[in-house]
Amino acid sequence: MAGSPIKQPQYSLEGVAIFRGLSSSTLERIKRRCSCRRYEPRESVVDHLDTSDEVFFLLTGSARVTVRSADGKAVNFRELSPGSMFGEYAAIDGRPRSANVEARTSCLVCRRRSGRSPARRSIPGADRISSRDRDRSEEHTSE
C-alpha cells in the first residue's frame, strides 16, 4: 500500500530579521529558493571547515555555534534561536566554515545557496567586514 504524500509544513521567513518588512511576494520568491530540513537534538547542521556556500535561517528550535580554540578545545560561541541567520561569513568570503553548528532541540532550518561571487561583488566592503568579524571570532577561540 502506497503511503500518502506528506504535506510540507507551512513556515514563514518573516521571523528572520533580514527579511522583516519585505512584501509577501518577495518572501515567497525567497522561500522558493530555499530548502528546509528538520534537525534533531545533537545533529550537526554545519561542520567546521565545510566548503559549502549556503546561508542558513533557523525557523524553529535552537542551535549552538561552537568554535575551536587554539589548543583544539570546543568553545561555545553563540546560541541561536528562531529568526537567527548563520553561515553568512563563508557565503560572502568563500572561505571554509569557521565553526560547527549543532541542533540543541528539534529545529527547522532553511538554507539558500549564496551565489557567492555576485554577493561579494555587490556588497561594498564585504571582504573587509567578513575578515574583521572572523578576526573577532578567532580572538574568542584563543582565550
Sheet containing 54-60: order of strands: 35-39, 107-113, 54-60, 85-86
Residue 46 phi/psi, 5-degree rounding, is: -135, 135
Q: Which residues pair with 64 in a beta bridge?
A: 79, 102
pLDDT tens sequence across 67-87: 988 898 989 999 999 999 999
Residue 44's nearest CA partner among 115, 97, 116, 112 is: 97
**Cell (9 digits) for 85:** 541567520
pLDDT score of 53: 87
Work out the average pLDDT over 1-7.
Answer: 46
Work out the average pLDDT over 22-43.
Answer: 92
Which pTM was predicted? 0.71
Q: Which residues pair with 79 in a beta bridge?
A: 64
